[in-house]
């Protein structure tokens, strides 16, 4: 299963678990969906990129193609890979912390510790002066 299929499967499993449970063979279904998404991203990317402008440098072309791919992926994620908002369920407040929430909590803790360290360094510098 490619990354688009994995993304879609996780999105459906977490935001529309009842609908996900009704899919007879989720792995096969999301594998096919991932393949279709890959094809659509490629088509849409080329449409969005358009023809090569006259005088475009190599790096400009790379940037234009990368931007069109990211835009195509965003469109495909919204149109093909995520459940319709009408079937999405709001997560329970007591559910396990998501990966993003965990990462945010860790970053906030590191920032607090960093501030404490530099405050201590500044205090010691002030005492020595």
Task: Report which of 99, 53, 48, 98 is spatially closest to residue 73, judged by C-alpha positions.
Answer: 48
Tell me if the pTM is above 0.85. Answer: no
Contact 15, 88 (CB under 8 A): yes
Domain boundaries, the chain: 3-90, 96-129
**Which pLDDT score is estimated for 74?**
92
**Which pLDDT score is estimated for 69?**
94
What is the rounded distance in angstroms from the CA atom of residue 129 to the CA atom of residue 124?
Answer: 9
**Which pLDDT score is estimated for 90?**
61
**Which pLDDT score is estimated for 92?**
55
pLDDT in tens, 56-78: 999 999 999 999 999 999 999 99
Stretches in the chain below the pLDDT threshold 50: 94
């Amino acid at each position: 299963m490619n990354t688009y299929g994995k993304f879609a499967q996780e999105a459906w499993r977490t935001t529309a678990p009842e609908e996900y449970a009704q899919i007879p063979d989720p792995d096969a279904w999301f594998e096919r969906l991932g393949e279709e998404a890959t094809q659509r991203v490629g088509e849409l990317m080329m449409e969005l990129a358009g023809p090569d402008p006259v005088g475009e440098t190599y790096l400009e072309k790379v940037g234009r193609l990368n931007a069109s791919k990211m835009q195509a992926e965003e469109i495909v994620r919204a149109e093909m890979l995520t459940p319709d908002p009408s079937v999405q369920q709001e997560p329970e407040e007591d559910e396990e912390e998501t990966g993003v929430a965990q990462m945010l909590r860790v970053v906030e803790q590191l920032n607090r510790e960093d501030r404490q360290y530099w405050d201590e360094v500044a205090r010691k510098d002030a005492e020595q002066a």
